[in-house]
Amino acid sequence: MEFPGNAGLLLNEARGNSVRVIRGLKIRGKKRRKAMGGYEYCGLFRVADHWMTVGKEGFLVCQFKLVKLAPGETPKAKPIAPPIEDTPVEEQVRRAVEYQRLVRNSKVVRAVKEMYGNTCQMCETRLQVSPEGEAYSEAAHIRALGKPHNGPDVLGNVLCLCANCHALFDRGALQLSDHLDVLDGLTRTIKGKLKKVREHEIKVEFVRHHRQRWDDRFSTPIDHKS
């Protein structure tokens, strides 16, 4: 199993493996950051520690402490041994990755994508990715899965969205009213109506929970029932 990003760093920390570090030079741009000065190979590092902190946008971020290996220093080869139980860190990573894989491939996710033919319920964009007409869409859980929100993986809690609307919805820049109007989460204006087929019963309790996550952006509450 291949573990990208944070999961890979956690496993390298748990197993004592080294990582290669490449640094971008003269980083420019806010949305699409580019290394205008090219890239520099910094050498081999070991992952010494990790911790969770709150980022600028209010989300939990996993940070790591990397320690550079001395010149000529190489990680000690580990002897081949019979399989043993995962360390606590490896077990946590394995569960997280397997859970996300299960969510991406769940029956509920497949059902909502088929229900809308991979067409975004908010902007009605259908991203065709092959000459044969295959399209790409993403399943967005209204009440987020996992802690601290503990949303269920049920049809009434899932939307079929394009990648852009999914990113905006997950960060509160797009929201839904009780009547399933699509709201601009930054200006509180109605952008349009959510596309919905009759057999897709979206639970208003999940919609309200999603809105409440972002209510502290404004000093006065909004009446979504009006």
- Write the DSSP symbol of residue 119: B
Residue that has been written with the tokens 């295959």 in this structure: 134
At 8, which CATH number? Answer: 2.30.280.10
Neighbours of 28 (CB within 10 A): 11
Task: Quick: pLDDT tens for 57-98.
Answer: 666 678 888 888 887 666 554 444 444 555 665 566 556 555
Neighbours of 137 (CB within 10 A): 24
Residue spans of beta strands (DSSP E) within 25-156: 27-28, 34-35, 39-54, 60-68, 127-128, 135-136, 138-141
* Residue 226 counted as domain residue: no
Q: Which of the listed residues 81, 105, 129 is the one where a domain comes to its end?
A: 105
Q: Is the pLDDT of residue 200 over 80?
A: yes
Same domain, 118 and 204: yes
Same domain, 54 and 112: no
Same domain, 40 and 126: no
* Residue 78 counted as domain residue: no
* Residue 131 counted as domain residue: yes
Same domain, 101 and 140: no
Task: Answer whether 21's CB lies under 8 Å from 69's CB.
Answer: no
Same domain, 98 and 6: yes
Same domain, 64 and 132: no
Average pLDDT, stretch 95-107?
57
Q: What is the mean pLDDT of the chain?
A: 79
State residue 177's pLDDT score.
95
* Residue 56 counted as domain residue: yes
User: How many distinct structural domains can be found in the chain?
Assistant: 2
Neighbours of 84 (CB within 10 A): 6
* Residue 76 counted as domain residue: no
Give the residue numbers spanning the domain of 2. Answer: 1-29+36-69+92-105
Same domain, 190 and 154: yes
Same domain, 99 and 137: no
* Residue 118 counted as domain residue: yes
CA 173 to chain centre: 15
* Residue 187 counted as domain residue: yes
Task: Answer whether 25's CB lies under 8 Å from 37's CB.
Answer: yes
Residue 83: asked if its preceding bond is cis (omega within 30°), the reply is no
Task: Answer whether 176's CB lies under 8 Å from 168's CB.
Answer: no
Same domain, 138 and 54: no
State residue 53's pLDDT score.
75
Question: Looking at this protein, which amino acid is placed at residue 121?
Answer: Q
Lowest mean pLDDT among 19-23, 112-116, 156-160, 174-178: 19-23
* Residue 84 counted as domain residue: no
Same domain, 15 and 100: yes
Same domain, 25 and 97: yes
> Which of 160, 206, 6, 213 lies closest to 96 in space, CA to CA?
6
- Measured distance CA(134)–CA(116) in Å, rounded: 13
CA angle 152, 153, 156 (to 5 degrees): 85
State residue 81's pLDDT score.
45
Reported as a pLDDT band with limits 50, 70 and 90, residue 111 is very high
State residue 66's pLDDT score.
87
Task: Quick: pLDDT tens for 117-169.
Answer: 999 999 999 999 888 888 999 999 999 887 788 888 899 999 999 999 999 99
Same domain, 97 and 116: no
